[in-house]
Amino acid sequence: MRKPLVSFVITLLVIAALLFAVRALIPRFSASVAQGPVERDGGRRLADCPESPNCQGSDSGEAERRVEPLPLKGSADETMDALVALIGARSDAAVASRDGDYLHATFTSSLVGYIDDVEFLVDESAGIVRIRSASRIGHSDLGANARRVEALREAWTRG
């Protein structure tokens, strides 16, 4: 009876050590996938999503990765301030950069510490906020970016 218990405990310790190592190393090796605004279709847009299914964006060329943009909240400046407040209210998010009508935020998963990039582009002439959420690493995100965009949309419409 003791031998199986000892083996089980050792296995758990090895798994915990591996998770700790992955959590410590992965964020250090992942580079931002935020691309900022790009000139496309005669205007400023956010970059299209890559071929991997770990991205959602309002400017995505593929219907299954396309999400609706957010509505403006007042002027462009008021909208940008509201976006910064939205990100600031979340414990898993931080503003990485803010430049005029563009905002780049990072979101960190609690379990392994994966970092994802979320971009916002305030398009005052169209009356929308373009949004793009993409994973830095991996192929599939198991729907994390889609859930994040929807959670942001719900908080945006409530606030």
Q: Which of 101, 95, 118 is nearest to 35 (CA)?
A: 118
Within a domain: 9:
no
109-140: pLDDT as tens digits? 887 788 999 999 999 999 999 999 999 988 88
Q: What is the pLDDT of residue 32?
A: 87
Which residue range(s) make up the domain with 39? 31-158
CATH code for position 42? 3.30.310.80
The pTM score is 0.81
Q: What is the pLDDT of residue 18?
A: 79
Within a domain: 2:
no
Whether residue 47 contacts residue 132, with contact meaning beta carbons closer than 8 Å, is answered with yes
Structural domains in the chain (count): 1
Q: What is the pLDDT of residue 79?
A: 98
Residues 6+ apart with CB under 8 A from 2: none
- Give 45's Cβ-side CA count (13 Å radius): 13
